[in-house]
Structure 1
Amino acid sequence: MSDLSNYEGYQFEFRCERCGNGYRSAYQRDKLEMGRGVLRAVGSLFGGRAQDLSNAAGQWAYNRGTNSPAKDKALAEAVQEISPSFRQCRGCGDWMCADQCWNDEIGQCLRCSPSVAEEISRAQAEAQRRQIWDKAEQTDWTTGLDVATRAKLTCPSCGSKVDGGKFCSSCGSALALPTRCGGCGSSANKTGAVFCSDCGTKL
Structure 2
Amino acid sequence: MSTEMQFSSNYQDLSNASGVDAGFQFEFYCQRCSDRWRTRFEPYRSGQASGWVQKGASLFGGLLGSASSVLNGVAEAGWHSARDDAFTGAVAAAKAHFNRCGDCHRYVCEPCFDAAKGLCFNCAPNVNVAITQARAQGEITGAREVATEEGYARGRQRDATPAMQLVCPQCRTETHGAKFCPECGFRMAQQVACSHCSTMLEPGTKFCTECGQRQT
TM-score normalized with structure 1 length? 0.66
Partners of 1:40 and 1:57 within 8 A in 2 = no
SS of the equivalent of 2:96 reads helix
For structure 1, the residue ranges without an aligned partner over 5 or more in a row are 160-165, 167-177, 181-185, 198-203
CA–CA separation in structure 2 for the residues paired with 1:82 and 1:32: 26
CA–CA separation in structure 2 for the residues paired with 1:123 and 1:23: 32
Q: 5 Å matches for 1:86-101?
A: 86-99=98-111, 101=112
Q: 5 Å matches for 1:119-198?
A: 119-139=130-150, 140-142=153-155, 145-148=158-161, 179=202, 187-188=205-206
Q: Within the alignment, does 1:3 sit opposite 2:13 as a pair?
A: yes
How far apart are 1:9 and its partner, in Å?
Answer: 1.0
Of the candidates 43, 48, 59, which is equivalent to residue 29 of structure 1? 43
Q: Structure 2 vs 1, CA of residues 47 and 155 (structure 1 numbering), >3 Å: closer, same or farther? A: closer
For structure 2, the residue ranges without an aligned partner over 5 or more in a row are 1-10, 165-176, 186-191, 193-200
Aligned sequence identity (%) = 24
Partner of 2:125: 114
Question: 1:154-186 CA distances to partner (integer Å, 9 max, x unpaired)?
Answer: 789xx9xxxxxx9xxxxxxxxxxx615xxxxx7
Partner of 2:93: 81
How far apart are 1:35 and its partner, in Å?
Answer: 2.4
Q: How many residues align?
A: 167
Partners of 2:49 and 2:71 within 8 A in 1 = no
Runs (4+) of structure 1 exceeding 4 A deviation are 142-156
> In structure 2, what residue type is equivalent to 1:179?
E
Give RMSD over aligned pairs. 3.5
CA–CA separation in structure 2 for the residues paired with 1:67 and 1:33: 8
How far apart are 1:93 and its partner, in Å?
Answer: 1.1
Partner of 1:173: none
